[in-house]
Amino acid sequence: MPLSLALSVAAGLWLLPGLSWAVLLIVACVVVPTDFAPAASILRDDRVPVRVRNVLNVEAGYNDGIVSPIFIFALAIAGDRSHADTPIAALGSAVPQAVKAILVGLAVGATLALLINAAERREAMTDQSKRVILVTAPLLAYGLSLALHGNGFVSAFVCGIAFNYLRQSSALRGELALLDDMGFLLSAGMWFVFGAAAVLALSSGVSWTMVVFCLLALTVVRMLPVLIAMLGSPFSWRERLLIGWLGPRGTTSIVFGLLAFNVLVGAAEHAALMTMVVAVLGSVVLHGVGAPAAARAYRNSQTRLSG
């Protein structure tokens, strides 16, 4: 991810002149994180090796929480000059938010996990209650973090890690059923919002430089860093190329893009919204069609090698 963010900023300096480095970093945080909403079927495709699917699934689950503090840092500089007009001042704003978020997330996740464990041992909790708690836990962590002027996304992210680590149950996957259904419903609502944002952004036209930037963000900006990061790994070159290609953009990019649109002003505001829309629409086309094709090509190459 650090390599992808740096490469995205470098591409922005070339193709999106006039934007400050802080805005380009915001744009990078919008277009780099992966999300499998546009191509969710690939995570269940048996033609893709299990370990490749596991890597992609873990990455999609972690990258938004990891990039969130960087996103907040860049927003602090680009979006509110009265409070953060230098990187040091922005760090002074972002770091306390991240620390509060981590502490709140740890406290909420650990407390709920230990309480559920204790109630389960005493047979004092129904399966329905466990499912409801899993839905409300990230909302609780997010809300408490915001109340303490922390980063809600980071708090919810850390809450999930702490909860999973301390939860003593082999039935956790079943308990996630309601959370998965709620996530699907909210994702559908998010795509509705994206459709409205797309109409607003595209009504003013799209420049060729923006199209080229988003095309690079969906291909080279991801694939090259993945290949570099996986040097020396046990994955074959075909698997590495598959991981590099299978990086759709979806809900994470939409959320970060809309947040940036609400904070930024002027050309920066338009650039954040436009890159989000073009990148996500491009990913729907490239990965919606290209992901199954890549999986099929990989299976065919393995068949030829084994034959």
pLDDT digit string, tens, across residues 23-63: 999 999 999 999 887 677 788 888 888 999 999 888 887 88
* 285, 303 Cβ separation under 8 angstroms: no
pLDDT in tens, 189-229: 888 889 999 998 888 889 999 999 999 999 999 999 999 99
> Which domain range does residue 15 map to?
2-306
Structure confidence by residue, pLDDT tens digits, 94-107: 778 888 999 999 99
DSSP state at residue 172: H
82 band by pLDDT with thresholds 50, 70 and 90? very low
**C-alpha to C-alpha distances, 15 to 74, 89, 197, nearest whole angstrom:** 19, 28, 23
Residue 267 scores a pLDDT above 70 = yes
- Per residue in 85-144, pLDDT (tens digit) is 556 666 666 778 888 999 999 999 999 999 999 998 898 888 888 888 888 999 999 999
Contact 197, 276 (CB under 8 A): yes
pLDDT by residue (tens digit) across 141-187?
Answer: 999 999 998 888 889 989 988 998 888 766 666 777 787 788 778 87
Q: Is the pLDDT reported for residue 275 higher than 80? A: yes
Give the Cβ contact number of residue 111 at 10 Å.
16
Residue 51: which of 283, 286, 240, 275 has the closest Cα? 240
CATH code of 279's domain = 1.20.1530.20
Give me the number of domains the chain comprises: 1
pLDDT of residue 15 exceeding 50, the answer is: yes
Distance CA 242, CA 81 (A): 42
The pLDDT assigned to 93 comes to 67
Average pLDDT, rounded, for the chain: 87
168 backbone dihedrals φ, ψ, rounded to 5°: -95, 80
Question: Measured between alpha carbons, how far apart are the two ends of the chain, in Å?
Answer: 37
